[in-house]
Amino acid sequence: MSDPTVAQLFDLTGRVALITGGSKGLGRSMALGLAQAGATTVLLSRHIEEATRAAADLEAEAKRESLGLAGDVTVEAEVTRAVEAVVGKYGRLDVLINSAGINIRHAIENFPPADFHRVVETNLTGTWLCCRAVSRIMKEAKRGSVINVGSALSHVGLAERTAYTAAKAGVLGMTRTLALEWAAFGVRCNAICPGPFLTEMNRPLLAEPAKAAAVVGLTAVNRWAELHEIRGAAVFLASDASTYVTGSALDVDGGWTAK
């Protein structure tokens, strides 16, 4: 049997992907990349109107089926219901991208504990619940790729982000552990660690030009990333192009962590 071509390695035709936080920002951009590579995509959002609208837009743009679902990644029953809905409709689940996330910025002495818990619950516990929900399904199928969205701040610190850095460092530790747990079952787990993309989460920084410039200045390329620049990493990790890659952190950070 001949080796697969590069086009075959990156082809996601027939695969089904669930993307949390998939209605906007990096989640939507990664979903579009997977759809353009041939995947059927399911976009999970807390708001069904956002999820449905984003899925319709993505389907029209990529000419691939896309479905919007409502669910809060911090609520176990809603995560379970979403995963069961995907498997019930399509009979399979090949890719999970854990992109749902929030960030709240305060100096630690001004950081309300409730806000700290919100950030950790969404970014870390939500990722854990989604991984847990797909684990048995993917292990039984003996295939699957889970992509957790970390951050450049999984590796380094940044002032006023104690909750976010703690959560994103935890995502990276979880990713490595799950790679070991799942390796014998043909299931891979990797992380994408983005730098400063100008998403809805980061737009508040524009109100403080000095802080925005300082964040962008941490990168080697000295600019904000464009949303499409996350797609190649997502397609690579979702596809057979990365079958020997697990437990890794793919930094898409403009050289931030190289400095």
Tell me: the pLDDT tens digits for 224-256?
999 999 999 999 999 999 999 999 999 999 999
Per-residue confidence (pLDDT) for residue 192, from 0 to 100: 98
Residue 185 has pLDDT above 80, yes or no: yes
Q: Tens digits of per-residue pLDDT, 86-126?
A: 999 999 999 999 999 999 999 999 999 999 999 999 999 99
Per-residue confidence (pLDDT) for residue 1, from 0 to 100: 63
Alpha-helical (H) ranges within the chain are: 6-10, 25-36, 48-62, 76-90, 113-120, 126-141, 162-182, 209-217, 231-238
Nearest to 214 by CA among 105, 92, 59: 105
Q: What is the dihedral of CA 46, 47, 48, 53, to 10 degrees?
A: -120
Residue 156 parent element (H or E)? none
pLDDT category at 206 given cuts 50, 70, 90 is: confident
Top-level CATH class of 6-258? alpha beta
Per-residue confidence (pLDDT) for residue 190, from 0 to 100: 99
Cβ–Cβ under 8 Å, residues 68 and 43: yes
Residue 201 has pLDDT above 80, yes or no: no
Catalytic residues: 164
Residue 67 has pLDDT above 80, yes or no: yes
pTM of the model: 0.96
Per-residue confidence (pLDDT) for residue 208, from 0 to 100: 81
- Determine the average pLDDT of the residues in 58-85: 98
Per-residue confidence (pLDDT) for residue 203, from 0 to 100: 77
* 202: number of Cβ within 10 Å: 16
Per-residue confidence (pLDDT) for residue 22, from 0 to 100: 97
